[in-house]
Structure 1
Amino acid sequence: MAYDEHLAERIGQSLKSHKVSFEAKKMMGGLCYLVDGKMTVGIVKNQLMARIDPDTYQEALQRKGAKEMDFTGRPMKGYVFVSPEGMDLDEDLDYWVGLAVEFNPRAKASKKKS
């Protein structure tokens, strides 16, 4: 199991409740959800990855289960990992998905590889 499939179902439901169109893609050994072609949330093993507003980043890191995303060995600003205990309840997961969806319109899209 490369990623938590139950968490994938929960994220899909949360994104639907936020009334956004999304695409799920297998990436980075996990599953990423793209909104408007931009990575918004994802799953790496059993952790949630969320792309949030850098202005609310430090405050968000104070929540239970949240830590800097260090997928590459160094922290990525604006990205957080949330462990299972930080999103046990649906309202906790909805909080993180909501932060990511809210930031998405202002997030920069990745450059397309030629």
Structure 2
Amino acid sequence: MAYDLQLAERVRQLVCFEPGTSEKAMFGGLAFLVNGHMAVAVSGQGGLMLRVPPEHTDEVTVLPHAGPMVMSGRPTRGWVRVDAAGCEDDAELEAWVARGLDHARSLPPKK
């Protein structure tokens, strides 16, 4: 499944004014990075993937439309999946993108 081009454009509009942003094809979708760190990605499986501080994973994955990111059959701390229904409303999408941006901004820039 290809990623949702309309969702990618909506995310692009939310991150375009963030200093140090770039886009990169990753995980079968389109990732938006801040200073080289992935903040949020439009997933090829639908919805979003985003990074959060690992210690916040449990509190974020219990929110509506959110769940753990599963890699190699195991949940991965610091990564969250948001299903497509959680991205339909502009305010919800903005809140998810802001979480990912906040975490990416907190990390030292990659060289």
Q: TM-score range by the shorter chain?
A: 0.7 to 0.9
Unaligned runs of 5+ in 2: none
SS of 2:72's partner is coil
Unaligned runs of 5+ in 1: none
SS of 1:78's partner is strand
Normalising by structure 1, report the TM-score: 0.83
In 1, Cα distance between equivalents of 2:31 and 2:62 = 24
Equivalent residue, structure 2, for 1:61: 61
Conservation of the 8 A alpha-carbon contact between 1:63 and 1:86: no
- Equivalences for 1:1-114 in 2 at 5 Å? 2-16=2-16, 19-21=17-19, 22-45=21-44, 46-107=46-107
Deviation beyond 3 Å, 4+ runs, structure 1: 107-110
Normalising by structure 2, report the TM-score: 0.85
Kindly, what percent of the aligned residue pairs are identical? Answer: 35
Q: Deviations over 1:46-91 (max 9, x none)?
A: 1200101223322211221100001432111011000011121011
SS of 1:23's partner is strand
In 2, Cα distance between equivalents of 1:56 and 1:77 = 8
Q: Which has the higher strand share?
A: 2
Conservation of the 8 A alpha-carbon contact between 2:68 and 2:80: yes
Conservation of the 8 A alpha-carbon contact between 2:33 and 2:104: no
Conservation of the 8 A alpha-carbon contact between 1:51 and 1:78: yes
My pick for the range that moved more, 4-13 or 71-80, is 71-80
State the Cα RMSD in Å. 2.0
| Paired positions, count | 109
Measure how far apart 1:8 and its partner are.
Answer: 0.3
